[in-house]
Amino acid sequence: MPEFLTLLPPADALKKLLDHLHADPDPEQVDTERALGRILISPVTAPHPLPEFPRAAVDGYAVRAADTFAASESLPIYLELAGEAPMGAAPQVNLTAGKCVLIHTGGMLPEGADAVVMLEYTQPVRSQEIEISRAVAVGENVIEIGEDVEEGQEVIPAGTRLRPAEIGGLMALGFTTIAVARKPKVGLISSGDEVIPPVEKPAPGQVRDINAYTLSAAVESAGGQPIFYGIIPDTYDDLAAAAGRAKTECDLVVITAGSSASARDLTSQILDELGRPGVLVHGVNTRPGKPTILAVCDGVPVIGLPGNPVSALVNAHLFVNPVIKALLGERTARPWPSVRAFLTVNLPSQAGREDWVPVRLIYPSLLSRSWERGEEPGEGGEGYLAEPIFGKSNLIFTLARADGLLKIPPDATGLPAGELVEVYLM
């Protein structure tokens, strides 16, 4: 049986792969309202200030701040009501000393006004007279011109993954279409004589294809476009032909199964012959996913994942997602969402190996029933518990029952019960 190449830590293996990529994403123009999750191809510069006019931040009365000096509940001041600022239009009033204008949140301040008194600190006393029971400073309760962004300011850098906030900001500046990186095509190849399509009923010894669908969802979530290349038999010619076709048509190829060190596993050999430089990493020092293969074939990254569904999906998070982000030119280094939780049981681990363990989060309302030692973690019983879900790497519902993954670092020989750990959400 052939041996694995030298096992690398996952971070080192990923760096080795990314160092061989020279991504230059192609742009495409899309409607901004449909750009959620897309990667901005060029920086966005504000064509005008935002807001473009001084606006009221509250309901109340636009005033000259100097007119409210020393106003208090015990000694209010009185201002003449000069009118009302219309919504959606410029006020026609030029505010002079001793006067105020009724204004609503978002309304444009009239000329001469430099502050807004909140409605709660006012009351009408006569038809055209308003009592003010609190002084305001210049600029109080006012959103100034350019307070959000100034004209010419870079507001969103290139490589940003657009979230709802960025979509709103683009619309506020009038960008109804935007240039984003084209979604990289990710070829998905399932291999194995025992694997059949999910629509078929398995005969003894057969299993339905899981990986094509979990990985397709993972690819879409990361911003890629999954392309199925079917279930390929365990023969050199069939697998080499499928891999070759996918390499010419896609930006990234992912092959599941065929990565471990057995006589029937052909992926490593095929990738070494598919293009230069070929296999960069065969084996990572992690569990699950030790037999993962990372290759670059004539500029196209190719990843060979284990056939076991848990191993494939966990290592897709570690390797496929970062490669898709690199191909998109994503530069926003936002962390993998996580929560801190207290481990419920002792977890052993092998020193020098990075372990990823599926865990279920137990929520605060369940703590008193679930914490075996009778203790509720955190002050006032706040916090989560992380309960490991034990199962072999070919059991997909091990992950389906999990809320996230817990990482045991390679310098640890395990984690004790009660340890505060980071759970990376799935």
Structure confidence at residue 221 (pLDDT)? 94
pLDDT at residue number 378: 47
First-to-final CA distance of the chain: 35
The domains of the chain are located at 10-25+182-328, 27-48+155-181, 55-143, 338-425
Please check whether residue 94 is in contact with residue 147, taking contact to mean a CB–CB distance below 8 angstroms.
no
According to CATH, the topology of domain 10-25+182-328 is Molybdenum Cofactor Biosythetic Enzyme; Chain A (3.40.980)
Tokens linked to 198: 């999910």
pLDDT value at residue 412: 86
Which stretches of the chain score pLDDT less than 70? 1-6, 258-265, 364-382, 393-394
**Domain 338-425: CATH superfamily, name plus number:** MoeA, C-terminal, domain IV (2.40.340.10)
Which DSSP symbol is given to 174? Answer: T
- Tokens 């519902």 locate to 397
Amino acid 7: pLDDT:
83
In the prediction, which pLDDT does 260 show?
A: 52
Please identify which residue in the block is written with the tokens 């990254």.
Answer: 301
CA 16 from chain center: how many Å? 24
Distances (CA, A) of 98 to 43, 82, 103, 238: 47, 10, 16, 88
Position 364 scores a pLDDT of: 59
Q: Which CATH number fits domain 27-48+155-181: 3.40.190.10, 3.40.50.300, 3.90.105.10, 3.40.50.150?
A: 3.90.105.10
DSSP string, 265-295: --HHHHHHHHSSEEEEEE-BSEES-TT-EEE
Identify the pLDDT of residue 152.
Answer: 96
- In the structure encoding, which two tokens stand for residue 232, read together? 């390929």
pLDDT attached to residue 263? 41
Give me the pLDDT at residue 294, please.
Answer: 96
The predicted model scores a pTM of 0.84
pLDDT for the residue 426: 85
55-143: CATH topology: Molybdopterin biosynthesis moeA protein; domain 3 (2.170.190)
Tokens representing residue 387 in the block: 């309960």
Say what the pLDDT of residue 126 is: 86
* Confidence (pLDDT) at 262: 55
Residues 322, 332 contacting (CB under 8 angstroms): no
